[in-house]
Amino acid sequence: MRIGGGSVPATAVTVAVAVKSAEGKGSQRAVRWAVENLMPKADRFVLVHIMPTITSIPTPSGSSIPIKELDTSVSEIYMQDMKAKCEEMLTSFKFSYKMPKMESLLLEGDNPAFALLRYISDSRVTTLVLGSCSSNYFTRKQKDMEVPSIVLKQAPDSCNIYVISTNKPIINSRNPILRTEGEHDSHAISKKHFSLSSSSTASKDLNSLSDLSHLISQAHMPGYSSMYYTAAEGRTCQILDDSISDIQAIKGYTPSSSTHSEQAEIKQLRLELESTITLYSQAFEGLVHAQSKVHLLSSEWNEDARRVNAAQEREESLRKIASEERKKYLEAEEEVVMARKLLAEEAYKRQIAELKTMKESLEKQKIASALFSSDSRYRRYTRNEIEAATDFFSEAKLIGEGAYGKVYKCNLDHTLVAIKVLRPDARDRKEEFMREIEVLSHFRHPHIILLLGACPDNGCLVYEYMENGSLEDHIFCKNGRPPLPWFVRFRVAFEIACGLAFLHYSKPEPIVHRDLKPGNILLDKHYVSKIGDVGLAKMIYDVVPDNITDYRASIIAGTLYYMDPEYQRTGTLRPKSDLYSFGVITLQLLAASRPDGLILKFENALSSGAFSDMLDESVTDWPLAEAEELAKIALSCCQLRCRERPDLESEVLPALNRLAKFADSYIQAAKEPIHAPSHYYCPILQEVMDNPYIAADGFTYEHEAIKAWLDRHNISPVTKQRLQHKMLTPNHVLRFAIHEWRRNHC
C-alpha cells in the first residue's frame, strides 16, 4: 500500500534508498553512499520506509486490541501517530544532508521485500539502494539480510540494486552512473571466485544449496504470489545449473600437491554434494507437484466457495422476498380491518342519515299540510285565479325571468301584484318554493318583500309589486332605469342592513339569506328597498361561533362573487356569511361596476389616495368623506374570515344610520330656496346651517359636520391649514339670523 509519492516519466533516473530507522548504521551507510555516488546524476532522490500494516493497537497492559473491534476515529488517530513518527524519521535524514532534491516516501506492507518489489514495478525506479549491517552478504544467518537477498533475486532487470555493507557494495547493476566501479567490482569478484581453493568451491556450492533451500522456504510463505513463485523457480534452476558447473569444475581439478587423504576427502565431498543435489532435485520436483496440486485444490475450493456464496445470496434474496411478502400480508390485514371498520361506520352513518331524512321529510309534509290547509297568514289562490290574472300566462304581462321561473305583472283582487311562477322543468326547486312560503309567511318587515299569497298547485307566489325594479337595474342602467343619486344609495345601504338584521336576529332561530345580491333587492315607487327571493334562506339551528373554523359536508348555495369565501371553503353557514354579500353590494353602489375584483380595487385606491377615481362618474356631487367612510365599512364586511368582520347590529348599523341621516339632511336642505345668504351655508355640507359653530380657523360650520370632520382630521376644511386646537364655539348671532330668515321665507 502506497502512502505518498507518485510516478515519474520512464526516461527519468530515479534513485530510491530503503531506510529502516534513523539510528540504524545500515540505513545511515546506505543514504550516505547514495548521496555521494548517485545523487549528482539522479533526477529524483527518494527515501523509502516500509511501515508494517497496522492490524491491532497496543494497550497499557501490554495486550493489543484488533482494529475491527475499535471505533474508526480511534484507529485513525493511532495510524496518524505512527505515520507521523515515520515521517519524522525520514525528515531527520533530510535535515542531516540538506539536499533540496531529496524526497520521502512512506509505504505500508507486512513484507518489506515484497513492498519494495511492488514499488519498483509500479514507479519504474531505475536504482534501489539497501543497507546491510553484515560484512558478508552471503551469510544467511542474519534476519536483516532476507530483504536484500529477496530484492536482489526478484528485482526486474530494468532496476539496478545496490546492497551497502561494511565492505564494498554488492552490485547487480547495468547503470551507466557507476559503470566503471561496477565492472571493477565484478572483475574483482570474478577473480576471487576463480582463485578459490577446492574447499572454498565446495563452500560456495553449499551456499548455493543454502540459497536453494531459502528460496524453497520462501515459496511456502503465506502471501507469496504466483509471480514471485515463478521468479523463485527460475532462480532455483539457475542455482542448480551453477552448482552442476562447479561440480564438474571440481571433478576436473587435480592439484599436484594434494595428499592421498585430501583426495579421499574431496571425493567424499563430491559424493555428498551429488547426493545432496539429487535430494534437492527430488524436493524441487515434489514442490512443483505440490504446487500443481495446490492450484487444483485452490480452483476446486474457489468453485465451492462460489457455489456457497451463490447459495447464500439466494437464501438472503429469498429471506428478503419472504420478509416483504409478510410485510405486505400484514399491511393487507390492516387494510382489511380498517375497511371493515370504515364499512361499519359508513353503514351507521347511512342509517342515521336515512332516519334524519325521513324525519325531515315528515316535518316538511307536516309544515306543507299546515300551510296549505289552515294557514291564515297568506291567501291561497286557485289555479283559475292565477290564470285569469295573467291572461293564461300571457307574454304581454311578462316582466322578468330567472332560474326559478317567470315573473308576471298583473292585478289580483284590485291590487297590482307580481306573480312568480315555477317553471315546469324546475320541479326540483319545490323545496325552495316551500321554504320561501315558510319564511315570508312568518315575518313582516318594511325592508323584506311582502308575500300576499300562493298557489301550491301551480307553483306560484304572489308578491307586492315593486315599481322601480331591482337594484341591479339601477346600478347597470338596465331596462331604461336611471342611476341613483348618492343620498338614495346611502339610504338603500342602510335599509338592506336593517332587513338583514331582522332576519339574523329572528326568533326562535336566526335565518341566513344565502343569496343576497343586487338582483334580489327590489325598489318600490318611493325607492324604498326590500329584500326578496328568500328561496335559499336557511334557519341556523346550531350557530358556530365566529372564532371557530368548522368543516361541514353540505351543499353550497348562492351566487359567485357574493358568496362568503369561508362558507365556500368549509361549508359552515353563519349570519355573517350574508354580511360579506352586503359588503360587495355596498361597493357596487359606490362604483357601479361588476363585483369581480372590486374589493381589491377599492383597497388599492384607498391605500394610494385615488379613492375618488373609484366612485360612479354619473354622480357628480359625491360627499367624499362620507363615501370613503361607507367604503371602509363595506371593506370591513368583506374580510375573508368571519371572525374579522364587524357585528351587524352593534357596529355596522350605527355607522350606516349616521350616514342615512346625513343623506336625509341633504335632501331637506335641497328643498330650501337657493337665494339664502352665502354665510348661512356650511362650507362642508353646502347647505343652510341649523346649529352653527365657530372653529379654530375662524369659519362657521354646522355643528355635526365640523365635529365629524375633526374626529378624522386636524386641518381646516377651508384653508387646509393645521388647526391650533379642536375647540368649537357656538355662533348664537348667526343661528338667530338663520332662524329669522327661515321664518320669513319658508
Residue whose C-alpha cell is 291567501: 379
Q: Pairing state of beta strands 127-131 and 14-18?
A: parallel
Instruction: Give yes or no: 515 in active site.
Output: yes
- C-alpha span between 114 and 145 (Å, rounded): 14
- C-alpha span between 236 and 231 (Å, rounded): 9
Conformational region of residue 214, where left means phi above 0, alpha means psi within -120 to 50, and beta covers everything else: alpha
Beta partners for residue 270, in sequence order: none
Other residues' Cβ atoms within 10 Å of the Cβ of residue 634: 23
Angle in degrees, CA 71, 74, 76, rounded to 5? 105
- C-alpha span between 688 and 674 (Å, rounded): 9
Closest by Cα among 616, 611, 620 to 590: 616
- C-alpha span between 475 and 591 (Å, rounded): 9
Which residue in 205, 211, 473, 515 is the catalytic one? 515
Angle in degrees, CA 683, 487, 625, rounded to 5? 45
- C-alpha span between 232 and 153 (Å, rounded): 8
- C-alpha span between 144 and 496 (Å, rounded): 113
Q: Is 420 annotated as a binding residue?
A: yes
- C-alpha span between 365 and 371 (Å, rounded): 10
Question: Which three-class secondary structure state does DSSP give residue 682?
Answer: coil
- C-alpha span between 378 and 449 (Å, rounded): 13
Closest by Cα among 461, 464, 438 to 380: 461
User: Is the peptide bond between 508 and the residue preceding it cis, with omega within 30 degrees of 0?
Assistant: yes
Closest by Cα among 517, 497, 485, 512 to 654: 497
Assess contact for 120 and 156: CB atoms under 8 A: yes
Neighbouring C-alpha atoms within 13 Å toward the C-beta of 582: 31
Assess contact for 582 and 516: CB atoms under 8 A: yes
Q: Which residues carry a binding-site annotation?
A: 420
Q: Which residues carry a binding-site annotation for ATP?
A: 420
Instruction: Return the active site residues.
Output: 515
